[in-house]
Amino acid sequence: MSEETTPPRTPPHQTIELRDSTEEESWLLVYLDVMTLLVVMFVVMLTFAGDGDPETAADTTEPAPEAQGPSPHPADWPEGSLGDDIETSRSDEGLRLRISSGLLFESGQAELSHKGLDTLAELVPTLEQSSHPIVVTGHTDDVPITTDRYPSNWELSSARAAQVVRFFQKEGISPERMTAVGKAHTEPRASNGSAEGRARNRRVELLLRLSSTD
């Protein structure tokens, strides 16, 4: 009885080495395919972004908004008109702003209108640039007023000046800087004989007592 010859067996570690080598090569091929696809997509995106022209792509960048500079110092306000109803002038006393009462108040009233609030709010940043005293003076025409609240133009002009001062104080202007004065019809700028003249006389004036060095 002949003895059967057993064929040699491949060591287990050789089979494992062949399988690991095959898996490593497959992973490497997949990685290279993915990287190639990413590069192609990147090139296509760049092409569509600027039509292949770097200058075109650069032109699509929006410029940064310009920074808004600080509000001007009161001493830098020009003489003349700051609008249809605001005038400025200089004298030895300082800088004077004349604001039409029609811009700030309703006829015969001392409560600031919405337009008046907006007008005064625009002045606040500039007034904050200095610490000079501010004299707020109310003026009227010579047409008498007789109401329970305002028996005469003295009360009306004083109340209007006080309203302006209270507004500025609410917006952060120091009350120690401000004074409210009512002059009624005693300091007209024009003749009260015409409607136009009376309109010029109805006003609120802000006097900034600037120093000689400003």
Same domain, 49 and 133: no
Determine, yes or no, domain membership for 66: no
pLDDT of residue 51: 54
What CATH number does the domain containing 189 carry?
3.30.1330.60
Query: Over the stretch 41-85, which tens digit does the pLDDT of each residue have?
Result: 766 677 666 554 545 444 555 555 555 555 555 555 555 555 667
How far apart CA 23 and CA 32 sit, in angstroms, is 14
Please tell me the total count of domains within the chain: 2
- End-to-end Cα distance, the chain: 131
101-120: burial string, b at 16+ Cβ within 10 Å, e else: bebbbeeebbebeeebeebb
Same domain, 112 and 148: yes
Same domain, 188 and 129: yes
pLDDT of residue 86: 86
Same domain, 105 and 167: yes
**Cβ proximity of 159 and 165 under 8 Å:** no
Residue 134 pLDDT > 80: yes
156 φ, ψ (degrees, to nearest 5): -65, -50
Burial of 168 (0-12, 13-18, 19+ CB in 10 A): buried
Residue 16 pLDDT > 50: no
Query: Over the stretch 163-189, which tens digit does the pLDDT of each residue have?
Result: 999 999 999 999 999 999 999 999 999
Determine the residue type at 43.
Answer: V
28: containing domain = 12-58
* Chain mean pLDDT for the chain: 80
- 182: closest CA among 133, 119, 122, 140? 140
Same domain, 87 and 148: yes
What confidence tier does 22 reach under pLDDT thresholds 50, 70, 90? low
How confident is the model over 23-43, as a mean pLDDT? 68
Determine, yes or no, domain membership for 214: no
Same domain, 27 and 98: no
